[in-house]
């Protein structure tokens, strides 16, 4: 179903260490160059609002029950949609978010084993418009790579947060849930082989035809 706004919503997804953060700002700059009349809103989840950034700190540092974790992810998302994403899309802007709901299905569902049915209820609650239509990204870049390659990359560059401390099996389950969703919605997902070099990945990313309308 077509979204009832003039904006364009893009999300970047993938397991920790897949390299999405290396490219997201450059991709925002590219969109600005291609669509000089559009405003580009760069944001992230969990986070994107003052409350969301506070919740992010808790979510990335504090151990908690898996359902509490899922509820807080969606609470942050509700605020993010209300304050940032929906107003921007209604104004016709391009929104680029570092993660969105696919991450909840992949991490809380695939990784932690929370029921996908429960996550769907939260998704429906937080993202449904007019009672039926779900507000989803128009395009999702999925940076895909084996958990072992991502683990190797992570170990070289950063101190792990709560999620990054999880073991290889966890990340393999996260990856499989991302892939399952990508298969379910092939028209929304664009899968990127994240084992490639940053140059090759940028070559692919920068050549993707993004269906942004220049009308506002």
Residue 60 or 208 having the CB closest to ligand TYD: 60
Nearest approach in angstroms of CB 39 to ligand TYD is: 23
Part of the chain binding ligand TYD (CB under 6 A), chosen from 84-92, 100-108, 178-186, 202-210:
100-108
Part of the chain binding ligand TYD (CB under 6 A), chosen from 3-11, 104-112, 125-133, 191-199:
104-112
* Chain residues 21-60 in contact with ligand TYD, contact rule CB under 6 A: 21, 45-46
Residue 3 or 21 having the CB closest to ligand TYD: 21
Figure out which of the listed residues 143, 163, 171, 189 binds ligand TYD, where binding follows CB under 6 A: 163
Residue 119 or 212 having the CB closest to ligand TYD: 119
190 contacts 43 by C-beta, under 8 angstroms = no
Residue 34 or 128 having the CB closest to ligand TYD: 128
- Ramachandran angles phi, psi of 78, nearest 5°: -60, -45
The candidate with the shortest Cα–Cα distance to 171, out of 193, 149, 141, is 149
Query: Containing H/E element for 191?
Result: strand 189-193
Residue 98 or 138 having the CB closest to ligand TYD: 98
- Which whole-number Å values give the CA distances from 171 to 9, 65, 146, 159, in the listed order? 26, 19, 8, 17
Nearest approach in angstroms of CB 172 to ligand TYD is: 15
Interatomic CA distance for residues 92 and 88, integer angstroms: 6
Residue 24 or 212 having the CB closest to ligand TYD: 24
Asked if residue 92 binds ligand TYD (CB under 6 A), the reply is no
Interatomic CA distance for residues 23 and 53, integer angstroms: 22
Nearest approach in angstroms of CB 162 to ligand TYD is: 8
Q: How many residues bind ligand TYD (CB under 6 A)?
A: 12
Could you tell me the strand order of the sheet in which 94-98 lies? 40-44, 94-98, 8-14, 139-144, 189-193
Q: What string of H, E and C letters represents the secondary structure of 103-146?
A: HHHHHHHHHCCCCHHHHHHHHHHHHEECCCEECCCCEEEEEECC
Nearest approach in angstroms of CB 132 to ligand TYD is: 23
Q: Residue 197 corresponds to which tokens in the numbers above?
A: 């070099």
User: Contact positions toward ligand TYD, by CB under 6 A?
Assistant: 16, 21, 45-46, 73, 98-99, 103-104, 107-108, 163
């Amino acid at each position: 179903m077509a979204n009832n706004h003039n904006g364009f919503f893009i999300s970047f997804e993938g397991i920790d260490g897949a390299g999405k953060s290396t490219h997201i700002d450059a991709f925002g700059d590219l969109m600005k160059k291609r669509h000089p009349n559009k405003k580009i809103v760069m944001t992230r989840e969990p986070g994107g609002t003052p409350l969301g950034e506070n919740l992010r700190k808790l979510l990335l540092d504090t151990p908690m029950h898996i359902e509490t974790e899922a509820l807080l992810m969606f609470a942050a998302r509700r605020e993010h949609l209300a304050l940032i994403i929906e107003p921007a899309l209604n104004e016709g802007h391009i929104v680029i978010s570092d993660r969105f709901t696919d991450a909840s299905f992949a991490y809380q569902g695939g990784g932690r084993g929370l029921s996908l049915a429960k996550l769907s209820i939260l998704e429906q609650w937080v993202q449904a418009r007019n009672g039926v239509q779900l507000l989803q990204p128009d395009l999702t870049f999925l940076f895909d790579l084996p958990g072992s390659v991502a683990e190797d990359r992570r170990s070289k560059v950063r101190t792990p947060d709560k999620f990054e401390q999880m073991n290889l099996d966890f990340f393999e389950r996260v990856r499989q849930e991302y892939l399952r969703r990508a298969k379910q919605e092939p028209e929304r997902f664009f899968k990127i082989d994240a084992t490639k070099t940053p140059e090759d990945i940028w070559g692919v990313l920068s050549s993707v035809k993004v269906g942004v309308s220049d009308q506002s």
